[in-house]
Amino acid sequence: MKIRVLGTAAGGGLPQWNCACPGCRTARADGRSLRQDTLAVSGDGHSWYLLNAAPDLHLDAPELRPGPGLRETPLRGVILTSAELDHTTGLIGLREAMSLTVLATAPVLATVPALPLLDHYTAVTRRQLTCGVPAALDGGLTVTPFPLGAKRPRYAASQAESQSANDWVVGLRLTSGRSTFVYAPCLPAWSAELADADLVLLDGTFFTDDEMLRSTGVRRTARQMGHLPIEESLPLLAPGVRYLYTHLNNTNPVTRADSAERAIVRQHGADIAPEGETLTVKSERPTAALSVRDPCPQNLVDL
Instruction: Name the more confident of 160 and 241.
Output: 241
Residue 288 has pLDDT above 90, yes or no: no
Residue 186 — pLDDT band, cuts 50, 70, 90?
very high
Q: What is the pLDDT of residue 165?
A: 82
For the entire predicted model, the pTM comes to 0.92
Residue spans of the domains in the chain: they are 2-153+163-285
Rg (CA), the chain: 18
Spatial distance between the Cα atoms of 29 and 83, rounded to a whole number of angstroms: 33
Residue 292 has pLDDT above 90, yes or no: no
Query: What is the per-residue burial (b if ≥16 Cβ within 10 Å, else e) of 65-75?
Result: eeeeeeeeebb
Mean pLDDT within 46-57: 98
Spatial distance between the Cα atoms of 248 and 186, rounded to a whole number of angstroms: 11
Residue 291 — pLDDT band, cuts 50, 70, 90?
very low
Spatial distance between the Cα atoms of 296 and 87, rounded to a whole number of angstroms: 26
Q: What is the pLDDT of residue 283?
A: 53
Residue 59 has pLDDT above 50, yes or no: yes
**Chain length of the chain:** 303
Q: Which CATH superfamily is domain 2-153+163-285 in?
A: Ribonuclease Z/Hydroxyacylglutathione hydrolase-like (3.60.15.10)
Q: What is the pLDDT of residue 217?
A: 86
